[in-house]
A and B are shown apart, each in its own frame.
Chain A
């Protein structure tokens, strides 16, 4: 089980409380697809991903980004039970979606950069530490049921 200090929990929840799911989710997923174009392999049915402009404006990217970030929010709400929270999603990503867990790490780091751009100096080194820990724990939980 992951141990969170009271300070880490506070840093995570206070940032999360101010996050716009729709905007942040869309931006994080769009950046993932732009910065690491090979990740587009999972989204053949998303239509036009031919340029950064197309990706950013793509409604399926926006919708899916929001979905992914909302799901991430479940981790924030269940910090003491992340493994169980993502157990079924882990199975899904392995058995149905066939996503290499490395992609969870890539998305986690992109999310951190998006948060940094929105929160600027409020995203302190201590805050970054707590969030790097969170994205790492989430990535780990999503990879846990792989076989």
Chain B
């Protein structure tokens, strides 16, 4: 899945509108993922996953930061997330299917907080971008 020039513009546009809310949305994305897809909790047995948990907030911040990093280097997502890709392959080994679930929940959060930003075209671009991020993070799995 290749990001076109307009996809990149759309994605950058979304993240500039999100601004300082990225961390908050990261946490909400995780919370929704854990609620909608309980099997995803199996990767976090060491976490307090209750609503408002400090650990979810902290982890949401990390996830958001990674997405922002990818957007800031959208012409070379693989390069920007190379270390994270190594981490997921060697240590975390999160099954690839879960990146789609996280991506879907991020789109839900966007729809809730910025419905007018998430036009069908932007939705398509953002979905492609999230797929690309997931692909990069699982690229070194085997």
Contact = CB atoms under 8 A, between A and B. Distances in A.
Interface string A111-142: 01110111111010110110010000000000
Interface string A48-65: 000010011000000000
Contact of B36 (A31, A52, A118, A129): A129
Contact of A52 (B35, B107, B121): B121
B108 interface: yes
A34 B121 contact: yes
B43 interface: no
A30 interface: yes
B123 A116 contact: no
B2 to A, nearest CB: 14
Contact of B104 (A109, A118, A121): A109
B115 A35 contact: no
A61 to B, nearest CB: 11
Given A56-B120, A109-B104, A125-B35, A116 B127 contact: no
Interface residues of A, number: 23
For the complex, would chain B's binding face be called helix, strand, loop or mixed by DSSP majority? helix
A132 B36 CA distance: 7
Nearest to A110: B123
Contacts of B108: 112-113, 116, 123, 128
B35 A120 contact: no
Contact of A117 (B37, B104, B111, B127): B111
B25 to A, nearest CB: 13
A7 B90 CA distance: 41
Interface of A: 30-31, 34-35, 52, 55-56, 109, 112-114, 116-121, 123, 125-126, 128-129, 132
27 contacts: A30-B120, A31-B120, A34-B120, A34-B121, A34-B124, A52-B124, A55-B120, A109-B104, A112-B104, A112-B108, A113-B108, A113-B111, A114-B111, A116-B112, A117-B111, A117-B115, A117-B118, A120-B112, A120-B113, A123-B112, A125-B31, A126-B35, A128-B32, A128-B35, A128-B108, A129-B35, A132-B37
